[in-house]
Chain A
Amino acid sequence: MTTNVIEQASHNEHQENEHHDHKMTGIKRWLYTTNHKDIGTLYLWFAFIMFLTGGALAMIIRAELFQPGLQLVEPDFFNQLTTVHGLVMVFGAIMPAFTGFANWMLPMMLGAPDMALPRMNNWSFWILPFAFAILLGSFFMESGAPNFGWTFYAPLSTTYSNGSTAFFVFAVHIMGISSIMGAINIVVTIMNMRAPGMTYMKMPLFVWTFFITAYLLIAVMPVLAGVVTMLLTDTYFGTSFFDAAGGGDPVMFQHIFWFFGHPEVYIMILPAFGIVSTTIPAFSRKRLFGYSSMVYATSSIALLSFIVWAHHMFTTGMPLFGELFFMYCTMLIAVPTGVKVFNWVATMWRGSLSFETPMLFSIAFVILFTIGGFSGLMLAMTPVDFQYHDTYFVVAHFHYVLVTGSLFSLYAGAYYWLPKWTGHMYNDSLSKWHFWCSLVSVNLLFFPMHFLGLAGMPRRIPDYALQFADFNKWVSIGGFAFGLSQLIFLAVVIKCIRGGEKAPAKPWDGAIGLEWTVASPAPYHTFSTPPSQQEIDDADQNQS
Chain B
Amino acid sequence: MKSDDKANLKRTTDNMDSTGSSIKSNNKTVKQLLLVVVAMFGFGFALVPLYDVFCDITGLNGKTNSTAATYDASGIDKSRIVKVQFITRNAKGIPWEFEPVINEIEVHPGEMKLVSFYAKNNATHDIIGQAVPSVSPGLAANYFHKIECFCFTQQPLEAGKDVEMSLQFYVDLELPEDIKTLTLSYTLYDITEKSS
Residues of A within 8 A of B (CB): 22, 24, 111-114, 116-118, 159, 180, 184, 187-188, 191-193, 195-196, 218-227, 230, 238, 240-241, 244-247, 249, 251-252, 255-256, 259-260, 317-319, 322, 528-530
Q: Are A225 and B29 in contact (CB under 8 A)?
A: no
B36 smallest CB distance to A (angstroms) = 5
A217 smallest CB distance to B (angstroms) = 10
Chain B residue numbers with a CB within 8 Å of A240 are: 194
Q: Are B20 and A218 in contact (CB under 8 A)?
A: no
Q: Are A218 and B12 in contact (CB under 8 A)?
A: no
Assuming the contacts A24-B1, A223-B40, A223-B41, asked whether A113 and B19 have C-beta atoms less than 8 A apart, the reply is yes
Contact residue among B41, B130, B190 (Cβ-Cβ distance under 8 Å from A225)? B41
Q: Among the interface residues B1, B48, B187, which one has the most CB atoms of the partner chain A within 10 A?
A: B48
Assuming the contacts A22-B1, A192-B21, A317-B138, asked whether A117 and B194 have C-beta atoms less than 8 A apart, the reply is no
Known: A114-B12, A222-B40, A222-B43. 13 other contacts (CB 8 A): A113-B19, A118-B12, A184-B37, A188-B29, A195-B19, A221-B40, A222-B38, A244-B189, A245-B190, A317-B138, A319-B60, A322-B60, A529-B18
Chain B interface residue number, banded: 35 or more
Which residue of chain A has the shortest Cβ distance to B48 in the bound complex?
Answer: A241
Chain A residue numbers with a CB within 8 Å of B12 are: 113-114, 118
Residues of B within 8 A of A (CB): 1, 4, 11-12, 15-16, 18-21, 25-26, 29-30, 33-34, 36-45, 47-48, 51-52, 55, 58, 60-63, 66, 91-92, 130, 132, 138-139, 187, 189-191, 194
Q: Are A252 and B48 in contact (CB under 8 A)?
A: yes
The CA-CA distance from A188 to B36 in the complex, in Å, is 14
Assuming the contacts A195-B19, A196-B20, A245-B189, asked whether A220 and B40 have C-beta atoms less than 8 A apart, the reply is yes
- Interface on chain A toward B: helix, strand, loop, or mixed SS? helix
Q: Are B29 and A226 in contact (CB under 8 A)?
A: no
Q: Are B51 and A528 in contact (CB under 8 A)?
A: no
9 tightest CB-CB pairs across the interface, nearest first?
A226-B44, A245-B189, A222-B41, A222-B40, A192-B21, A223-B44, A113-B15, A530-B19, A188-B29
Assuming the contacts A24-B1, A184-B30, asked whether A256 and B15 have C-beta atoms less than 8 A apart, the reply is no
Q: Are B33 and A218 in contact (CB under 8 A)?
A: yes
The CA-CA distance from A227 to B48 in the complex, in Å, is 10
Which residue of chain B has the shortest Cβ distance to A530 in the bound complex?
Answer: B19
A/B interface sample: 28 pairs, CB < 8 A? A113-B16, A114-B15, A116-B21, A116-B26, A118-B12, A184-B37, A187-B29, A187-B33, A188-B33, A192-B25, A218-B36, A222-B38, A226-B41, A230-B48, A244-B132, A245-B189, A245-B190, A245-B194, A249-B61, A249-B63, A251-B61, A252-B47, A256-B48, A259-B44, A259-B47, A317-B62, A530-B18, A530-B20
